[in-house]
């Protein structure tokens, strides 16, 4: 890995997470490299998964929830005919069936999985049940009833099909935060009647960043730290002048720019308030003004 990084840093790192590490392992390595404890990430990747992991340092840790809320994109490798206990390749095989489904059958079924979808979280997930994470219960061999949650699959495309006794497919998935791609694959296999599991997963977009923006973990250094404003790259921006900067510094409401009145919906959409490239805070619309939700200390 490159030379040591400075401490007390504020900003964003876009890491290409390697396989075999938890997202927390990546955070620990970034803490070590930058000599700071204040590091977090915007959306967990399973240990076997790779790809875009957005990390925030210093003040950026308070903004990671906004990066996490932006839709994410994945390349998912699906294996048909085999169902596993974890819905991915790390679990034990619990069922095997012949596959009669064709490439056309799979492609034709994908539209039924797009839009607003109810999804039941897998047992091997970080969802809490009675104060304990499901994956902890799963390690003890327990299984509990889980409540289905609404997610949103924005796009789901078949980009490659490999026929055979156990056909394999690569799916391009864009989805809301909180979506379990392994469960999408599992449910797809169930609908086809042959079962399926997730063979591999690579996140290609998160927090407004793509793989082209990412850096392999073993090459990360201070030169890859992005400014604080990048933590909210996925949000709409509202530019203010020096007078607006002073108002934000005191947490005051801002008049809604006329150009944004038709674009920003009341209450639902956080917006990044910037001045000269500096992130000043995150606001939300209330009637015809913008009200402070989070102000960045100067």
Question: 186 burial class (0-12, 13-18, 19+ CB within 10 angstroms)?
Answer: buried
Nearest residue to 234 via CA among 249, 213, 248: 213
**Banded model confidence at residue 122, pLDDT cuts 50, 70, 90:** low
- Out of 10, 25, 28, 46, the active site residue is 46
Domain boundaries, the chain: 11-70+207-231, 72-206, 235-295
* Residue pair 26/16 in contact by the 8 Å Cβ criterion: no
Please give the model's pTM, rounded to 2 decimal places: 0.88
268 is catalytic: no
Segment 170-216, tens digit of pLDDT:
999 999 988 999 999 999 999 999 999 999 999 999 999 999 999 99
Q: Quote the pLDDT of residue 126.
A: 55
The DSSP annotation for 230-294 comes to GGGTTSEEEE--HHHHHHHHTT--EEPPGGGTTTSPTTT-EEEEEETTEEEEEEEEETTEEEEEE
Question: Are 11-70+207-231 and 72-206 in the same CATH fold?
Answer: yes
CA 176, CA 73: separation in Å to the nearest integer? Answer: 9
> Could you tell me the fold of the domain covering 11-70+207-231?
Pseudouridine synthase (3.30.2350)
Q: Work out the average pLDDT over 230-242.
A: 91
Q: What is the CATH number of domain 72-206?
A: 3.30.2350.10
Segment 19-46, tens digit of pLDDT:
999 999 999 999 999 999 999 999 889 8
Statement: 235-295 belongs to CATH 2.30.130.10: yes
Please check the confidence at residue 146 and state whether its pLDDT lies above 80: no
Nearest residue to 247 via CA among 267, 286, 276, 273: 273
Distance of CA 176 to the CA centre of its chain: 8
């Amino acid at each position: 890995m490159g030379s040591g990084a400075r401490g007390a840093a504020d900003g964003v790192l876009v890491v290409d997470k390697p396989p075999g590490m938890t997202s927390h392992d990546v955070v620990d390595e970034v803490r070590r490299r930058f000599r700071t404890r204040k590091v977090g990430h915007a959306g967990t990747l399973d240990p076997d998964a790779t790809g875009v992991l957005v990390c925030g340092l210093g003040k950026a840790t308070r903004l990671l929830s906004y990066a996490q809320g932006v839709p994410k994109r994945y390349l998912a490798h699906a294996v048909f005919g085999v169902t596993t206990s974890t819905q991915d390749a790390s679990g034990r095989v619990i069922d095997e069936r012949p596959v009669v489904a064709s490439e056309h059958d799979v492609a034709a079924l994908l539209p039924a999985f797009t839009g607003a979808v109810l999804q039941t979280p897998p047992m091997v997930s970080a969802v809490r049940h009675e104060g304990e994470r499901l994956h902890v219960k799963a390690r003890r061999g327990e299984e509990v009833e889980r409540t289905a949650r609404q997610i949103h699959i924005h796009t789901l495309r078949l980009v490659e099909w490999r026929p055979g006794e156990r056909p394999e497919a690569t799916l391009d998935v864009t989805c809301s935060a909180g979506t379990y791609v392994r469960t999408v694959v599992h449910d797809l296999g169930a609908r086809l009647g042959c079962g399926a599991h997730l063979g591999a997963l690579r996140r290609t977009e998160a927090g407004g960043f793509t793989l082209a923006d990412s850096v392999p973990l073993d090459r990360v250094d201070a030169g890859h730290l992005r400014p604080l404003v990048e933590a909210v790259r996925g949000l709409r921006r509202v530019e203010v002048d020096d007078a607006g900067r002073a108002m934000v510094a005191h947490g005051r409401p801002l008049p809604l720019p006329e150009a944004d009145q038709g674009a920003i919906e009341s209450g639902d959409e956080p917006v990044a308030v910037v001045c000269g490239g500096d992130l000043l805070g995150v606001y939300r619309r209330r009637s015809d003004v913008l009200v402070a939700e989070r102000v960045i200390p100067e």
